[in-house]
C-alpha cells in the first residue's frame, strides 16, 4: 500500500451495542464507515443519546453508510457539523432516511447514493458494496481492497444469511468470493450481536409468513402489532397478509408512518395505496383493522405504551383485541415491556410474543451463520465487532473452535490495526475517550450534569428566595417552593418557615456568599433530619 500502511480504528461500536463508527485511514485517504448513536442506560435520566467524541479523530473526506439503523446513521448530523466538507455516501433507501432526518433538523445536506454494482474509488483503496441481509432494506458489507489487490478488509457489522427471503436477494457471496479470491491477506471485521444466542442459525424472514397467516385467520377482531418501524420487510408481510384477509392496515406512531412513507416513495411497497389507511380515515372500533404501533421497546412516549396504558387518543384497548409483539426486547427494556404486557393482561387481551410463536426473527447471524461466512470468505484474520465486551470475547473463542486457520484479534474502541506494506498486522492500543452526551436540540451536555440530574431526580429540590433589607440586617420577605418532596413535608411548610425565621436571627448578610452557603448547608441538614436525605437546595437573595 502507498506510504507503507492502512489503519483501521473503531471510534464506536465495540464493547457496546450502538454508536457504530470506524475510521479507515491510508496515506492519502481518511474515511468514516457509519455514524451511529448509542442509546443511554436508564440511569442517564432521559438523556437523548450519546455519540463518539468527534474531536478526537482526523478530518475525514468521506462518510460511507452501510445501512439505515439509528446506531449507524443517528450521528450523521453531528458528523457534518464537525466536518462540513465531508462527502456522505449511502444506498437510496438509507439516503432517503438521512435526508429526512437532516431536513427535520433544518440542516439539508447533499447525500451521494451508491448501489450494489458501484465501486467507490479512492487514492489508496477501492470499496465494493456487498449486498447482505438484515432487518432493514439495502444493508451492505464493504469490501475494501488495495489497488494491488493483495490486501482486503471485509467490514460487515450487521447482517444475517437469508437464502429464503422473498423481499430481496440473498447475501451476495458470489460477488464477495469473486472479488476476494486472489487476495493474499484477508481481514474480516464481523458482527458479534448473537454470538451468545442459543439459535445457531437465524431463521429466514420468510419463515414468519405462514405463522402470521394462521394468526390473521384466527380472529375477526382487531389486531395490534408492534415491531421496529425500520423493519420494512416485516411490515410488508403484515400488509400483504392484511390484503389477503380483507383487512385495512393503519400505521400508528410517527416513526411507523415515516418509515412506511419513505419506503413507499421509493416504490418498495406495491400494496400501499390499496391497503394502508391513515388512522383518521377509519372507525377505531371496527373489527377488520391491523394497527401497526411504533415504540416496541416500551418507550415512555411511544405509541405502543400509550395504547397499552389506555392513553392513546385514537385506539383504546378492548378485551377482544389480539396484540402481537413482533420484536425482541433490547437488554434493559424488559421491565418496561413486561409492565405493558401486564396492563393488557388485566383487560383479558390475548398477547402473542416470539416465545409462543415464530412471529419475530433476528437480523443478526447465529454461530453457524458466522462459521458459514468464515468458510465462504476464508479470512486470514478475524476481528469481532458490533457487540458488548463479553460478546467480543465469546466470539474470539468461537473463531478458535470453528475456524482455527484464521487469527482472531481482540481490540476495542480507539485501538487500531496497522497494515504494513508487507501485509503484516499490528494491533496498537489507543487512548480511550468518553462519548459525548447529546440532549434536547442536539446540544452537548457535559458529563458532570448527569450527576446533577441524578441528585435532582433522586432527592428532590428546595428553592428559597429572600428579600434582604438595604441595611443587610433583616429579611423582609421569604418565599420557597419544593419539588419532588413528600406531601407530608410540603404541607407542613409553616414549620420550615419558622426554622428559616429562627435561623435568620442568628446571621448577618454582609458576606453574601458565605451566608448563602451556610444557609444552604443548614437547610439540607434540616431536611436530612426530617426526611432522612438531603434535597438539592438553591438560594436566591434579592
127 with 249, same domain: the answer is no
CA–CA separation, 535 and 531 (whole Å): 9
SS3 of residue 386 by DSSP: coil
Residue 22 maps to a domain? yes
**Is 409 in contact with 392 (CB distance < 8 Å)?**
no
Pairing of strands 407-408, 14-15: unpaired
Residue 452 maps to a domain? no
Please report the pLDDT score of residue 42 as a whole number: 60
Count up the domains in the chain and report the number: 3
Please report the pLDDT score of residue 1 as a whole number: 40
CA–CA separation, 99 and 324 (whole Å): 31
CA–CA separation, 155 and 383 (whole Å): 10
Give the list of residues 6+ apart from residue 448 with CB closer than 8 angstroms, or none.
Answer: none
Give me the CATH number covering residue 170: 3.60.15.10
**Is 132 in contact with 156 (CB distance < 8 Å)?**
yes
- Residue 104 host element (H or E): helix 92-104
Q: Tell me how many helices (H) and strands (E) the chain has.
A: 16, 28
339 with 400, same domain: the answer is no
432 with 510, same domain: the answer is no
pLDDT tens digits, 206-220? 999 999 999 999 999
96 with 54, same domain: the answer is yes
Give me the CATH number covering residue 300: 3.40.50.10710
Of the three residues 353, 373, 393, the one that is the final residue of a domain is: 353
How far is the CA of 457 from the CAs of 303, 452, 487, in angstroms?
Answer: 25, 9, 16
Give the list of residues 6+ apart from residue 297 with CB closer than 8 angstroms, or none.
Answer: 327, 329, 330, 333, 336, 337
Show the cell assigned to 489: 413535608
CA–CA separation, 19 and 506 (whole Å): 55
Of the three residues 353, 388, 415, the one that is the final residue of a domain is: 353
Query: Residue 193 CA to chain centroid, in angstroms?
Result: 14
Question: Structural domain of residue 290, as residue ranges?
Answer: 205-353
Q: Is the dihedral of CA 412, 34, 165, 291 positive or negative?
A: positive
CA–CA separation, 341 and 126 (whole Å): 49
**Is 24 in contact with 6 (CB distance < 8 Å)?**
yes
How many Å is the Cα radius of gyration of the chain?
A: 28
**Is 182 in contact with 382 (CB distance < 8 Å)?**
no
Show the cell assigned to 11: 471510534
Q: Is 227's pLDDT higher than 60?
A: yes
194 with 96, same domain: the answer is yes
Higher pLDDT among residues 443 and 359, named by residue: 359
Instruction: Give the number of other Cβ atoms within 10 Å of residue 178's Cβ.
Output: 11
Please report the pLDDT score of residue 46 as a whole number: 72
Please report the pLDDT score of residue 140 as a whole number: 99
CA–CA separation, 435 and 476 (whole Å): 48
**Is 64 in contact with 155 (CB distance < 8 Å)?**
no
Give me the CATH number covering residue 481: 3.10.20
125 with 240, same domain: the answer is no
193 with 49, same domain: the answer is yes
Residue 453 maps to a domain? no
Give the list of residues 6+ apart from residue 46 with CB closer than 8 angstroms, or none.
Answer: 300
The owner of cell 421496529 is: 228
CA–CA separation, 47 and 255 (whole Å): 19
Residue 454 maps to a domain? no
Total count of residues recorded for the chain: 542
pLDDT tens digits, 418-440? 999 889 999 999 999 988 888 88
343 with 366, same domain: the answer is no
Q: Is 39's pLDDT higher than 80?
A: yes
Confidence of residue 473 (pLDDT cuts 50, 70, 90): low
CA–CA separation, 410 and 430 (whole Å): 13
Instruction: Give the number of other Cβ atoms within 10 Å of residue 277's Cβ.
Output: 14
Question: In the chain, what is the straight-line distance between the N-terminal and C-terminal CA atoms, in Å?
Answer: 69
Residues of the chain with pLDDT > 90, as a percent, come to 75
Residue 455 maps to a domain? no
- The 3-class SS string of 291-356 reads EEECCCCCCCCCHHHHHHCCCCCCCCCCCCCEEEECCCCCCCCHHHHHHHHHHHHHCCCEEEECCC
Residue 183 backbone phi and psi in degrees, to 5: -70, 140
Q: Is 540's pLDDT higher than 50?
A: yes
Please report the pLDDT score of residue 205 as a whole number: 98
178 with 272, same domain: the answer is no
258 with 157, same domain: the answer is no
CA–CA separation, 206 and 164 (whole Å): 6
Region 453-480 average pLDDT:
81
CA–CA separation, 518 and 506 (whole Å): 12
Region 244-270 average pLDDT:
97
* Range of lowest pLDDT (182-191, 394-403, 463-472): 463-472
369 with 487, same domain: the answer is no
Residue 450 maps to a domain? no
**Is 540 in contact with 463 (CB distance < 8 Å)?**
yes
DSSP string, 248-280: EEEEESHHHHHHHHHHHHTT--TTHHHHB--GG
57 with 188, same domain: the answer is yes
CA–CA separation, 165 and 204 (whole Å): 6
pTM: 0.90
Nearest to 183 by CA among 379, 406, 421: 379
Please report the pLDDT score of residue 355 as a whole number: 94
Residue 332 maps to a domain? yes
Higher pLDDT among residues 331 and 302, named by residue: 302
Residue 15 backbone phi and psi in degrees, to 5: 85, 10
C-alpha triplet 292, 297, 301: angle, nearest 5°: 80
Pairing of strands 151-156, 185-191: parallel
Residue 418 maps to a domain? yes
CA dihedral (291, 294, 298, 303) in degrees, to 10, reads -70
pLDDT tens digits, 276-310? 999 999 999 999 999 999 999 998 889 999 999 99
What's 256's DSSP letter?
H
Please report the pLDDT score of residue 2 as a whole number: 44
DSSP string, 191-219: E-TTTT-S-SSPPPGGGHHHHHHHHHHT-
CA–CA separation, 146 and 76 (whole Å): 27
Of the three residues 322, 353, 384, the one that is the final residue of a domain is: 353
Amino acid at each position: 500500500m502507498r506510504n507503507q500502511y492502512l489503519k483501521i480504528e473503531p471510534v464506536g461500536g465495540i464493547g457496546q451495542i450502538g454508536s457504530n463508527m470506524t475510521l479507515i485511514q491510508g496515506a492519502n485517504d481518511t474515511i468514516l464507515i457509519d455514524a451511529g448513536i448509542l442509546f443511554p442506560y436508564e440511569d442517564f435520566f432521559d438523556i437523548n443519546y450519546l455519540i463518539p467524541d468527534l474531536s478526537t479523530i482526523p478530518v475525514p473526506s468521506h462518510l460511507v453508510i452501510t445501512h439505515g439503523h439509528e446506531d449507524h446513521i443517528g450521528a450523521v448530523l453531528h458528523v457534518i457539523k464537525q466536518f462540513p466538507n465531508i462527502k456522505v455516501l449511502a444506498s437510496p433507501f438509507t439516503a432517503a432516511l438521512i435526508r429526512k432526518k437532516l431536513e427535520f433538523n433544518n440542516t439539508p445536506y447533499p447525500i451521494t447514493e451508491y448501489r450494489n454494482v458501484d465501486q467507490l474509488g479512492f487514492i489508496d483503496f477501492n470499496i465494493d458494496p456487498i449486498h447482505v441481509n438484515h432487518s432493514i432494506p439495502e444493508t451492505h458489507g464493504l469490501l475494501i481492497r488495495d489497488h494491488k489487490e493483495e490486501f482486503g478488509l471485509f467490514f460487515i457489522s450487521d447482517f444475517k444469511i437469508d437464502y429464503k427471503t422473498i423481499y430481496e436477494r440473498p447475501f451476495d457471496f458470489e460477488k464477495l468470493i469473486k472479488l476476494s479470491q486472489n487476495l493474499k491477506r484477508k481481514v474480516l471485521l464481523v458482527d458479534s450481536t448473537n454470538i451468545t444466542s442459543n439459535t445457531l442459525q437465524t431463521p429466514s424472514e420468510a419463515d414468519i409468513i405462514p405463522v402470521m397467516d394462521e394468526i390473521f385467520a384466527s380472529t375477526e377482531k382487531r389486531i395490534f402489532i408492534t415491531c421496529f418501524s425500520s423493519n420494512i420487510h416485516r411490515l410488508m408481510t403484515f400488509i400483504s397478509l392484511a390484503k389477503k384477509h380483507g383487512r385495512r392496515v393503519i400505521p400508528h406512531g410517527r416513526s411507523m408512518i415515516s418509515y412506511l412513507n419513505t419506503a413507499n416513495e421509493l416504490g418498495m411497497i406495491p400494496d400501499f395505496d390499496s391497503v394502508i389507511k391513515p388512522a383518521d380515515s377509519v372507525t377505531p372500533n371496527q373489527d377488520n383493522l391491523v394497527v401497526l404501533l411504533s415504540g416496541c421497546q416500551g418507550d415512555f412516549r411511544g405509541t405502543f405504551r400509550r395504547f397499552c396504558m389506555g392513553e392513546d387518543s385514537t385506539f383504546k384497548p378492548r378485551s377482544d383485541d389480539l396484540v402481537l409483539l413482533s420484536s425482541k426486547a433490547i437488554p434493559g427494556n424488559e421491565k418496561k415491556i413486561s409492565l405493558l404486557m401486564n396492563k393488557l393482561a388485566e383487560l383479558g387481551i390475548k398477547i402473542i410474543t416470539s416465545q409462543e410463536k415464530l412471529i419475530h426473527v433476528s437480523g443478526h447471524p447465529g454461530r453457524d451463520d458466522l462459521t458459514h461466512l468464515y468458510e465462504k470468505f476464508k479470512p486470514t484474520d478475524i476481528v469481532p465487532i458490533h457487540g458488548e465486551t463479553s460478546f467480543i470475547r465469546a466470539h474470539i473463542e468461537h473463531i478458535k473452535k470453528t475456524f482455527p486457520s484464521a487469527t482472531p484479534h481482540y481490540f476495542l474502541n480507539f485501538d487500531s490495526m496497522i497494515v504494513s506494506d508487507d501485509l503484516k498486522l499490528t494491533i496498537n492500543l489507543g487512548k480511550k475517550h468518553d462519548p459525548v452526551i447529546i440532549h434536547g436540540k442536539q446540544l452537548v451536555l457535559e458529563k458532570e450534569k448527569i450527576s446533577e440530574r441524578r441528585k435532582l431526580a433522586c432527592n428532590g429540590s428546595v428553592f428559597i428566595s429572600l428579600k434582604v433589607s438595604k441595611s443587610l440586617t433583616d429579611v423582609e420577605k421569604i418565599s420557597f417552593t419544593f419539588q419532588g418532596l413528600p406531601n407530608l413535608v410540603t404541607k407542613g411548610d409553616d414549620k420550615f418557615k419558622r426554622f428559616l425565621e429562627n435561623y435568620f436571627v442568628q446571621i448577618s448578610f454582609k458576606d453574601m456568599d458565605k451566608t448563602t452557603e451556610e444557609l444552604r448547608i443548614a437547610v439540607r441538614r434540616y431536611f436530612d433530619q426530617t426526611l432522612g436525605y438531603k434535597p438539592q437546595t438553591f438560594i436566591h437573595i434579592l
